[in-house]
Structure 1
């Protein structure tokens, strides 16, 4: 067990002094050092109280509390991080741990998983959580007409049933060593059920905050739930959608909010000079993409897709859009911190001559395409499109930049226009990322890419329990996505957020932005 992991467990009161010292000794720390460390942490014990206000650069009037379709950070923080809980949770160091579950274990072939529920957990309306709520919450995503983004993650789930009030048994058609991570997905929180039907409209959940006010794409307010089964600190939270980055930064500086995501990188040095502002930056799993619809001409031609991949100077994008706060993408959506990450064999470095070669292979001398963009996709998206236009021109490619409205971007542009921009938080496992966005027919497969070989190998990798064999399979899957897929993975953006120096927190999770979407639960006022 690592030192950070020990600190996290202690801070969340999952380890007593005695347990901490025992684990610290096992990790090679002396008794004296362990005693001193535990005492120092105890003195820095998080405090309860206060109203936490955050401003987020996402949100739309089309937003919903429906967990199967929550589209952006605003609703992920609200509908999952504040209102609801999942069977499992992932710590800042990437460890899967029980949340609503008390424990989980699998059969030797990982085809059956048994989850024991934590006793005494209640929904915000006072109803006790039982196995029937869990069954209905999972079945909600499985219907024939379901368009839930979680549906492909549960494609191998053949049965979910209650075994008494406190036990749920999941049966899979194929083994899945990562199934506990599937139950952590933010689309699959546990909701109250009656007669097999879940209630998602009310926002009633088992999360740390009870809904007081919800205006889609504008504002959420919540109060701490007295009977929450875990630890949380703020008395109240307020989440504001502030799309304009300048307005968001100004709201922080003037004290209107305590936290802002997606910091304005252009003014970051000025923000850092403000004595009341703290900059938080970590290299996470998040990335910016330009998905092409592979079913629509000219993107249905692999050579056109490759031409565009070679026509983009990713390093220039990192330098000018991220101002160095990130790394280049190579059309592989798995960040280096994701288990089984592998660099694709082909590196799509900027090469206008190679772009021209692939255009010629597609029977084209030149190419004219529209690229839909709005800064709602990610901060700097419009500037990115204009840079890409300049870069691609050297390869004989004319990119017409179409500026779309910020409001409604995720419902009217993404998954609708043939070529646009997208922001991905990434996923904790390779399987989750590929299953959510790259497998044939997935609701969030924004490239509409279909590769039978990819689908077959992904299913095999999911059920392979030998780590070395899985690594080889996932390496090949990353090669397939990079070379044949329809997503230009442009860059991995560091998670750069800013907050008041009155806030305190433990280790920050890299898997999703805003501390794994759990900031309202994990942070406190010092």
Structure 2
């Protein structure tokens, strides 16, 4: 029977037998639907990519305020859609390695202060123009401009000059930085015609899909770009993203066949979904973390004793068990975990109502603390906030919870209100994570953590080529963030997505959810 099923599954992968007929024959042989679907997935991977069809994703993280301007991307849908229609100079692989993209190769001076990137020739923008080194330079210039409000501004702050030289682009840095290629994978740094200076939200890129639908907060879509330069992605004829911010509706859409892939499966329903025929849970550990962010420069959170009180008042272990259902690990009020190179273990902060009460009394604060939340902040954010409220109450701290609408949360609450629930997907290196979210001049410094000494340590670590010395600097930086910063980090989350049995080509990628953001480009429809 096993040989017969293997043979039938290969026929499906080759397009000689429909999935429905295969499942019917498998049932006649007494094989469960779940096992039959697993055979189909294995056969599809072995058979290689299948071209054609419309590949659809149902996603949380979209809003009516979303823009196609890469500088503004701050939530899942704009970032994910951007990965399908635009590209950077480099890309980080699922294994965490820097791979060529619009740059074919690169080299650095001995002191790692001058980097030269050879720009790929023959790459065409969706408007028919050829991508040139001048477009790369213009892109970097735009994201270096404080007026652009780019999420990459913190990264670009370390670059002194960018210029074109023949078919190369030369980056001159203020200080040595061995991580520069990693930093250029930042998803804001999508190469656009003239850097996007003319019309940053035009949606013209070099990616495998050309935009055909842009209904912000509702639906996004693209068609295969005929002149795309590479052949290892872009297998579907069309892609579509349907914004489904409600978790239950998103799961129902996958089960009902309206979409093929969904993001942000709530941990509390994972075991139930695993029992659904034709659906596969795709989870992977990484650098993503859920966080409550407090503005260090705004009363009452400009008092470090109050921030420490709130950190000790958080029961991290309870949240990992009740919110993540074990699909993650406890946080330690720092954005760095063991998934990062040069990570150093620190003493784990634990729930301590007595210490929380001590620091709360020392802070001199009285009255409720307002915490804003929404389930678009992270799966289970509202429940997590309520758990936080309960654990803090045991320390005599009153947290007033305000549930905000999902639509507009990333534009009106995050990075604007002084205390709110949020998440970070992580970054490839510690330098990039700190440069993006903790450097004083970073536009995405969402805790308003402004420390000149921390900035100096960031630059020092960036310029240090000795790995052990660099590791020590990062450890000291992590301790400062943990003990004095405004990030209250209960947990590091697994990325939990789900696919239908029709999806082939899925590989685990801990860089970000949805295969590092490339699911619609790298996956295909089996039948």
With normalisation by structure 1, the TM-score equals 0.89
Answer yes or no: is the 8 Å Cα contact 1:54–1:240 preserved in 2.
Answer: yes
- 1:152 and 2:151 are equivalent in the alignment: no
Give distance in 2, aligned partners of 1:429 and 1:75.
Answer: 22
Answer yes or no: is the 8 Å Cα contact 1:372–1:404 preserved in 2.
Answer: yes
Provide the secondary structure at the position in 2 that maps to 1:141: helix
1:21-420 → structure 2 map (5 Å cutoff): 43-79=46-82, 81-164=83-166, 166-193=167-194, 197-230=197-230, 231-232=232-233, 233-345=235-347, 347-364=348-365, 367-420=367-420
1:430-445 → structure 2 map (5 Å cutoff): 430-445=430-445
Provide the secondary structure at the position in 2 that maps to 1:420: strand
CA RMSD of aligned residues (A): 1.5
Give distance in 1, aligned partners of 2:509 and 2:45.
Answer: 22
- The verdict on how the C-alpha distance between 1:338 and 1:221 changes in structure 2, with shifts beyond 3 A counting, is same
Answer yes or no: is the 8 Å Cα contact 1:223–1:235 preserved in 2.
Answer: yes
Give distance in 2, aligned partners of 1:330 and 1:516.
Answer: 24
Give distance in 1, aligned partners of 2:455 and 2:45.
Answer: 49
Query: What residue in structure 1 maps to residue 490 of structure 2?
Result: 490
Provide the secondary structure at the position in 1 that maps to 2:144: coil
| Segment of structure 1 superposing worse, 136-145 or 389-398 | 136-145
Give distance in 2, aligned partners of 1:43 and 1:489.
Answer: 41
Give distance in 2, aligned partners of 1:452 and 1:243.
Answer: 39
Answer yes or no: is the 8 Å Cα contact 1:292–1:419 preserved in 2.
Answer: yes
Give distance in 2, aligned partners of 1:372 and 1:481.
Answer: 22
Provide the secondary structure at the position in 1 that maps to 2:170: strand
Give unmatched runs, 5+ long, in structure 1. Answer: 1-39
Give distance in 2, aligned partners of 1:433 and 1:449.
Answer: 14
User: 1:367 deviation in Å?
Assistant: 4.9
Provide the secondary structure at the position in 1 that maps to 2:385: helix
Give distance in 2, aligned partners of 1:98 and 1:405.
Answer: 40
| Segment of structure 1 superposing worse, 487-496 or 259-268 | 259-268
Provide the secondary structure at the position in 2 that maps to 1:397: coil
Give distance in 1, aligned partners of 2:65 and 2:144.
Answer: 23
User: 1:109 deviation in Å?
Assistant: 0.8
User: 1:43 deviation in Å?
Assistant: 4.7
Provide the secondary structure at the position in 2 that maps to 1:184: coil
User: 1:144 deviation in Å?
Assistant: 4.2
The aligned length equals 482
Query: What residue in structure 2 maps to residue 32 of structure 1?
Result: none
- The verdict on how the C-alpha distance between 1:115 and 1:242 changes in structure 2, with shifts beyond 3 A counting, is same
- The verdict on how the C-alpha distance between 1:264 and 1:143 changes in structure 2, with shifts beyond 3 A counting, is closer
User: 1:371 deviation in Å?
Assistant: 0.4
| Segment of structure 1 superposing worse, 272-281 or 505-514 | 505-514
User: 1:474 deviation in Å?
Assistant: 0.8
User: 1:330 deviation in Å?
Assistant: 0.7
Answer yes or no: is the 8 Å Cα contact 2:126–2:210 preserved in 1.
Answer: yes
Give distance in 2, aligned partners of 1:306 and 1:490.
Answer: 13
Answer yes or no: is the 8 Å Cα contact 2:45–2:504 preserved in 1.
Answer: no
Answer yes or no: is the 8 Å Cα contact 2:290–2:493 preserved in 1.
Answer: yes
Provide the secondary structure at the position in 1 that maps to 2:176: coil
Answer yes or no: is the 8 Å Cα contact 1:140–1:198 preserved in 2.
Answer: no
- The verdict on how the C-alpha distance between 1:198 and 1:170 changes in structure 2, with shifts beyond 3 A counting, is farther
- 1:469 and 2:469 are equivalent in the alignment: yes
CA deviation vs aligned residue, 1:148-206 (integer Å, no higher than 9, x gap): 11111011211111112x21111111111100011111000100118x93542221100
Give distance in 1, aligned partners of 2:47 and 2:425.
Answer: 30
Provide the secondary structure at the position in 2 that maps to 1:68: helix
Answer yes or no: is the 8 Å Cα contact 1:288–1:423 preserved in 2.
Answer: yes
Answer yes or no: is the 8 Å Cα contact 1:137–1:198 preserved in 2.
Answer: no
User: 1:267 deviation in Å?
Assistant: 2.3
Answer yes or no: is the 8 Å Cα contact 1:193–1:199 preserved in 2.
Answer: no
Give distance in 2, aligned partners of 1:480 and 1:524.
Answer: 45
Provide the secondary structure at the position in 1 that maps to 2:259: coil
Give unmatched runs, 5+ long, in structure 2. Answer: 1-42
Give distance in 2, aligned partners of 1:523 and 1:507.
Answer: 9
Give distance in 1, aligned partners of 2:413 and 2:46.
Answer: 50
Provide the secondary structure at the position in 1 that maps to 2:499: strand
Answer yes or no: is the 8 Å Cα contact 1:136–1:193 preserved in 2.
Answer: yes
Give distance in 1, aligned partners of 2:186 and 2:193.
Answer: 18
